[in-house]
Amino acid sequence: MTPPPVTLTPPVKEIAPTKTAETSSSGGCGCSSTNDATDGLTDEMRARIEKHPCYSEEAHHHYARMHVAVAPACNIQCNYCNRKYDCANESRPGVVSELLTPEEAAHKVLVVAGKIPQMTVLGIAGPGDPLANPEKTLRTFELIAEKAPDIKLCVSTNGLMLPDYVDRLKNLNIDHVTITINMVDPEVGAKIYPWIRWQRKRIKGVEAARILHERQMEGLQALQDADILCKVNSVMVPGINDGHLPEVNKAIRARGAFLHNIMPLISAPEHGTYFGLTGQRGPTPKELKAVQDDCSGNMKMMRHCRQCRADAVGLLGEDRSQEFTKDKFMEMAPEYDLDSRKEVHDGISKFKDAIKAAKVKLKPGQKIANSPKVLVAVATKGGGIVNQHFGHAREFMIYEVDANEAKFVGHRKVENYCHGGYGEEDSLDYIIKTIADCKAVLTSKIGECPKAELQKAGIHIVEAYDVIEKVAREYYDQNVQLQPA
Ligand code: CLF
Ligand code: SF4
């Protein structure tokens, strides 16, 4: 049976769009999800993460990050990595970044900070391992700390050299470090890492994994002792470490990790990786969510990671790196200006407050027990608002909704349906398959043809321009029958 369309129209009129750079496509504004990593935190901790789009789910609706690709070498081999591409710990295989010198990188950061004032974090994540290239990495951080003091510095590493650099990271005022930890059992590790380079020797097998594991734990402990926030990334490899990840989760929690980001293995033969060539598959969205849910009782989980490339620029869901290729940014004059950036950030804070106030009204007075949960797929350009045309969506944010809350649980990438005036049937089939487990699509606008096809597939359409959680909860209240208690 075709579900009836539901239309929710009024936008949140009292919320003005935040001022953004003219090149911004994000709208620079948004709201938080109720499972945000800021829940239950002290004010001090909240302040440390509130503008970091990876450490705070709420922040990723508002603030952008950028990476500079200054670190080409690596000191280990992961079976999901092909050195032709960027470090697969923090990027998807198939894209290669242009290498920069620290001076070029600093110039790029000042250019982007002027064009995208909501860019608050500079990360170094490859294309190899940043701490296998310590001079280039640390020199880049030094230059940026000096020239752009309001930008947070962030680094992602495999952890092998981390214990040797925690003091220098602390001296540079770096407050966010990611370690990729895929195992705490070297027998499992030997199936992921064929070798490491350690003390000028190549070491293989279980012994290599044991050294890597010990160095990762030592580095994690040193970060805790230095009061530097640590996020742990784990690549989920079905049949190899999927059942082992809860153990990893316990070990990192015991050593003070702030956030755990379990990411899916991305693997295909054309990537030329060991796993790709041997047919090792990645997890399905359902398998990934099950492991994330399993670990979420222990600590905060990151579910909004986009596995971005080593020269990524923009909000996490968008890729603006092509606007800032080397030939382009070297021709641009830096427009970094602390005062105008502060003005933009103040605007974002006001906008967030307005959205928070709108969300408070959604909470039921008393928690409703055992209400059924449904998934909805949201088309959004950012800002925590349903504000994107269905045909333009290149990903859908997935929210789990019940009678109490709407909770962000992940995102699914798709090909956009609309190709400048005509719709792509293959894309629509793929979109329908990708969101088949969702009860509804929330979008600002949708054409008659895709609307009919989605309805045929049993998916409701909600056309609205409003706060995501508000639209999702209203949809739920109007469409999901609660069993009498
Ligand atoms: Fe970059 Fe990583 Fe810092 Fe973020 S990314 S170094 S913590 S600023 Fe973020 Fe990208 Fe996921 Fe990394 S979405 S891949 S978690
Ligand atoms: Fe590749 Fe990164 Fe692993 Fe090094 S740490 S082998 S660059 S995925």
Q: Does domain 364-479 have CATH number 3.40.50.880?
A: no
What does the domain layout of the chain look like in residue ranges? 43-329, 364-479
Tell me the pLDDT tens digit for each residue of 231-244.
999 999 999 999 99
Measured in Å, residue 310 CA sits from the centre of ligand 1 at 9
| C-alpha 224 – ligand 1 centre gap (Å) | 19
Q: Ligand nearest 314 Cα, by number?
A: 1
- Taking only the tens of pLDDT, the chain with its 485 residues reads 444 433 333 333 333 333 333 222 222 222 223 344 456 788 899 999 999 999 999 899 999 999 999 999 999 999 999 877 777 766 766 677 789 999 999 999 999 999 999 999 999 998 999 999 999 999 999 999 999 999 999 999 999 999 999 999 999 999 999 999 999 999 999 999 999 999 999 999 999 999 999 999 999 999 999 999 999 999 999 999 999 999 999 999 999 999 999 999 999 898 889 999 999 999 998 899 999 999 988 789 999 998 888 899 999 988 899 999 999 999 999 999 999 999 999 999 998 888 888 777 766 667 788 889 999 999 998 888 999 999 999 999 999 999 888 989 988 989 888 876 677 778 899 999 999 999 999 999 999 999 999 999 999 999 999 999 999 999 999 998 766 55
What does the alpha-carbon distance between residue 88 and residue 274 come to, in Å, rounded to a whole number? 13
Does residue 224 come out as left (phi exceeding 0), alpha (psi in the -120 to 50 range) or beta? alpha
The answer regarding whether domain 43-329 maps to CATH 3.20.20.70 reads: yes
pLDDT of 93 reads 63
Ligand 2 — pocket residues by CB below 6 A?
Answer: 74, 76-78, 81, 87-89, 128-129, 158
pLDDT of residue 382: 84
Residue 211 structure tokens: 């050294």
How far is it, in rounded angstroms, from Cα 42 to Cα 40? Answer: 7
* Residue 408: strand pairing partners: 399
Query: Residue 440, Cα to own-chain centre: how many angstroms?
Result: 23
Biggest distance spanned by C-alpha atoms of the chain: 68
Q: How far apart are CA 469 and CA 382, in angstroms?
A: 13
Cα(305) to ligand 1 centroid in Å equals 7
At 77, give phi and psi (nearest 5°): -125, 125
State the Cα–Cα distance between residues 192 and 275, nearest whole angstrom: 9
The answer to whether the 43-329 and 364-479 domains have the same CATH topology is: no
Probe residue for ligand 2, chosen from 129, 181, 263 as the CB with the greatest number of ligand atoms within 8 Å: 129
Residue 365 has what pLDDT?
A: 66
Nearest ligand to the CA atom of 126: 2
